[in-house]
Structure 1
Amino acid sequence: MPWTRKPRLHVPGGLYHVILRGNARQDVFFAPEDRRRFYELLAEGITRFGYRVHAFCLMSNHLHLALQAGDQSLSAGMQNLAFRYTRYLNARLRRIGHLFEGRYKAYLIDQDAYGLALVRYIHLNPVRARIVKQPAAYAYSGHRAYLGREDLAWLTTDWVLGQFGSRVGVARARYHQFVNDGKAEGHNAAFYGGQADSRIVGEEDFVKAILKRNARRRRAPTITELVTYVCRCYRLNEKELLAAGRARLPAEARALLAWLALKTLAAPLTTLAQRFGRDISTLSHARSRIEERSRKSSTFAKALDRHLYAISQA
């Protein structure tokens, strides 16, 4: 039986350990200007997609982020970030091709139990890699900003520092000590998925609660429900939606239908093609155009997220 990849978990307000690795472990940052450009794109993503960055570390061939999801799923934001940075770097280096290795990794973290430890783990990455002896000596992580030695307006530090005291100076000193206390720790597999569910890091009760909540929200809609929804959005009837021809409005509606069917796990493209008498390659190209447009347009990406939300609430 073929292995089936589990769908991503979207929990608004949830804390995620996100990892992006270079294709074949090759470098993704070659000069300080590359990291500065990545900062800019990350900051733009906060505004466009509503997530927060609590910690980060940019190594030469991979990066770690501690992100708090907003109402929109992280997928749109991370896909946009990877696409735009790849486009920037390929243009600068005058090359083509993939930069990152497959899909980004994202692990939902029990923030109360493991949030602080995750921030420490991310900021100590250069120490574990023996690049520096002190985390503050590494220029491309959030640690220096937490100590007040660097100004990164897009980095959210309030939650972490708030765990160490109400006075900023005291909180920074305690945070500094907390991070230093972890310097002897090595690689921690716990931050790369739990045993109960590889997508979640947390205690048993937390995992059960997340899966129960997700099961309620993720009931896959039927194809009929999706057709009804898309027809309502485009003010078409089913006959108009499925009519032969290349009229713009029905074509756009069919593309959205194909995209929604895959995103909501309602049906594979083969099923849609058989039911509606369409060629599977046509539906696949239509769905790909939707995804390409969403990567280039934050407005369109937000519209897609609204469609997914509306379907989930139906």
Structure 2
Amino acid sequence: MSSMRRVWRPETFYHVTVRGNNRQNIFLNETDFALFFRGLLYTYEKYPFTVIAYCMMNNHYHLLIRSQEVPLSSVMVIINKRYSEYFKRKYNYFGQLYETHFFAKMVVDPISLLNVSSYIHQNPLRTSNTLVEKMEFYPHSSYQFYFNQSKTPPSFIDTQLLPSIIEQYSEIVAENYCSYCENFQPEEEKSSHMSIT
């Protein structure tokens, strides 16, 4: 398996997915979600990165992330280790919290950025028991910052890139990014994720 230090491209966004071991829940309540989010802020202060889409679900999370200063693995080690230590301490949990360190797949073109971000934002709608009726109602996703522009996103979130792609490509039939996201029809998830250690 290639190491992240070999395949890391600082100009490229990666779709990162982290799942609970045996698909167990890694976020049990609102405090857990908040602590994980604080971990993102903490990591950003050490190694700045850019996220254009995220979604935290009970047993996994997604990031569409670019790390331009250090290898992405360095960022993910801090994020995952910090949250794992918190979880184990709080719940007296022993064993492996995550299925693996993380999965990452390069997203190399603008249309793919739109599609992957839409897939991420649609996560709360595509569960066996739908969590919300509309994406904007889900509190643990970056979609809220695209839908409600009066909300100020955290410093590591860029909400300008995806809407600018809509404006640049005349062949895209969408009024704006939110419209694109709402009408996106995801293909079946492929098992071609690249496991990064």
TM-score class normalised by the smaller sequence: 0.7 to 0.9
State which of 2, 6, 15 in structure 2 corresponds to 1:6.
2
Contact 1:57 1:140 in 2 (8 A): yes
Are 1:66 and 2:73 an aligned pair? no
Which of these residues, 97, 100, 121, is aligned with residue 98 of structure 2? Answer: 100
CA distance in 2, matches of 1:118, 1:137: 20
CA contact (8 A) 2:110 2:165 kept: no
Counting strand residues as a fraction of each chain, which structure ranks higher?
2
Q: Secondary structure at the match of 2:55?
A: strand
1:199-214 equivalent positions in 2, closer than 5 A = 199=194
Provide the residue aligned with 2:189 in structure 1: 188
Structure 1 residue 187 displacement after superposition:
3.4
- 2:14–2:66 Cα contact (<8 Å) kept: yes
Q: Trace 1:152-231 onto structure 2 (pairs within 5 A).
A: 152-154=153-155, 155-165=157-167, 174-182=176-184, 184-185=185-186, 187-189=188-190, 193=192, 199=194
How far apart in 1 are the matches of 2:54 and 2:188? 16
Task: Output one character per residue of 1:231-256: Cα deviation in whole Å (capped at 9) or x when no partner.
Answer: xxxxxxxxxxxxxxxxxxxxxxxxxx
Q: Secondary structure at the match of 2:179?
A: helix
Secondary structure, in 3 states, of the residue corresponding to 1:163? helix
The CA distance in 2 between the partners of 1:14 and 1:188, in whole Å, is: 21
**Residues 185 and 107 of structure 1, relative CA distance in 2, 3 Å threshold:** closer
User: What's 2:141 paired with?
Assistant: 141
Check 1:151–1:36 CA distance in 2 against 1; reply closer, same or farther (3 A cut): farther
1:52 aligns with 2:50: yes
From the two aligned structures, give the one with the greater helix fraction: 1
Question: CA RMSD for the aligned pairs?
Answer: 2.4
Measure, in 2, the Cα distance between the counterparts of 1:89 and 1:7: 27
| CA displacement at 1:179 relative to structure 2 | 1.0
Extract structure 1 runs of 4+ deviating beyond 4 A: none
Q: Report whether the alignment pairs 1:121 with 2:122.
A: no
Larger Rg: 1
Shift in alpha-carbon separation, 1:111–1:47, aligned structure 2, 3 A: farther
Q: Distance in 1 between matches of 2:109 and 2:46?
A: 24
Unaligned regions of 5+ residues in structure 1, if any? 167-172, 200-262, 264-314
TM superposition shift of 1:165 = 4.5
Output the amino acid matched with 2:121. H
Relative contact order (C-alpha < 8 Å, sep 6+): which is higher?
2
| Overall identity of the aligned pairs, in % | 24
Distance of 1:156 and 1:180 partners within structure 2:
19
Amino acid paired to 2:119:
Y
1:95 offset after TM fit, Å? Answer: 2.7
Q: Which moved more, 1:142-151 or 1:15-24?
A: 142-151
- Counterpart residue identity of residue 178, structure 2: H
Distance 2:110 2:187 in 1: 22
Q: Is the 8 A contact 1:15 1:111 kept in 2?
A: no
Kindly state the Cα deviation for residue 186 of structure 1 after the two structures are TM-superposed: 5.1
Equivalent position of 1:132 in the other structure: 132
Number of residue pairs matched? 185
What amino acid is the match of 2:159?
T
Shift in Å, 1:112:
2.3
Separation in structure 2 between the aligned mates of residue 39 and residue 146 of structure 1, nearest angstrom: 18
Distance in 2 separating the partners of 1:164 and 1:95: 45
**Counterpart for residue 220 of structure 1:** none
